[in-house]
Structure 1
């Protein structure tokens, strides 16, 4: 269990913590260090930074994470005073438990936690930024591995599938 599980013998439930902007990772780390059981679902996303495609880890729910507690007590000072935490989500004055089934479903989705969310979507228009087809528009079809993409380009009035480095594409 956790350091706070000796408060009462009730069945533990999941609750939602609202975090300060951009501080959900900090809040999760500090709550975990205090002995709380925390679930902070993340996904890996591809973003273009300085013209290069990089993978970044982002929260699945920006500003929120889940905490498992044995009791909803009136004294939330240890949680509220944790760095990065804004408040416990409540309905009225009472914290509302999140169904275990929701947490189980989120945990069962490995693509949500460890997979990659592609920067481009199938069917989206892209511009080729380098190579012999530079400045031409194409239709993104799919990723081919982590660094390549298949696009549909109209060449000589015929659609052709091309295999290109994904970092040579940009959104239109």
Structure 2
């Protein structure tokens, strides 16, 4: 029997640790990642993030490999199972993810939809999370000027386009 892909849930922020330890045990591991732009302390940096936080894929030949050992691997929370059998992931799912990878091995995400002045948006992260705002202006640096209703008046705030969702 050939290897098939299964899902492993990792401990929080331990995807790479789990992938390394599973690899040391002879398993083939696939951890799809993407590049995220992160702003911190007036610096913008690009960091690799898992596409599915706390999850990775492992190829197992259930007839030949001792798959229960995955449960006690450092960084692994558990192997996702249906009943007492690991949950199978179809090869086409893994193939579709790999097709979207760039030369560096990172998944290319679709760009967020462009916002236009006058659009109502919701802030999804940061100090103003879950606040509704009105788009005032969109700059060419992925920054959006929005108007927030704070203390009874409209206040202009600049927010990264990745922190906004259409409302």
TM-score (norm 1): 0.63
Q: Any idea what the Cα deviations from partners look like across 1:130-165, whole Å, max 9, x if unmatched?
A: xxxxxxx5214x5xxxxxx27799xxxxxxxxxxxx
Does the alignment pair 1:36 with 2:27? yes
Given candidates 88, 92, 103, the residue that maps to 1:97 is 88
Q: Secondary structure at the match of 2:89?
A: coil
Q: 2:32·2:106 contact (CA, 8 Å) conserved in 1?
A: no
Query: Does the CA-based 8 Å contact 2:71-2:78 persist in structure 1?
Result: yes
Query: Cα gap change, 1:116/1:138 in structure 2, threshold over 3 Å: closer, same or farther?
Result: farther
Distance in 2 (CA, whole Å) between partners of 1:51 and 1:120 is 22
Equivalent in 31, 53, 78 of residue 62 of structure 1: 53
- In structure 2, stretches of 5+ residues that fail to align are 118-135, 146-157
Structure-to-structure mapping, 1:40-51, within 5 angstroms = 40-51=31-42
SS in structure 2 of the partner of residue 48 of structure 1: strand
CA shift, 1:17, in A, is 0.3
What does residue 115 of structure 2 align with?
A: 123
After TM superposition, the structure 1 stretch with the greater mean CA deviation from structure 2, 57-66 or 74-83, is 74-83
State the superposition RMSD in angstroms: 3.2
- Corresponding residue number in structure 2 for 1:166: none
1:21 aligned onto 2:12: yes
TM-score by length of 2: 0.65
Residues in 2 aligned to 1:31 and 1:76: alpha-carbon distance in whole angstroms? 11
- 5+ residue gaps, structure 1, are 1-9, 126-136, 143-148, 154-168
Query: What is the aligned length?
Result: 130
2:32 touches 2:107 (CA, 8 Å); kept in 1?
Answer: no
SS of the residue corresponding to residue 88 of structure 2 reads coil
Could you tell me how far apart the structure 1 residues matched to 2:111 and 2:91 are? 31
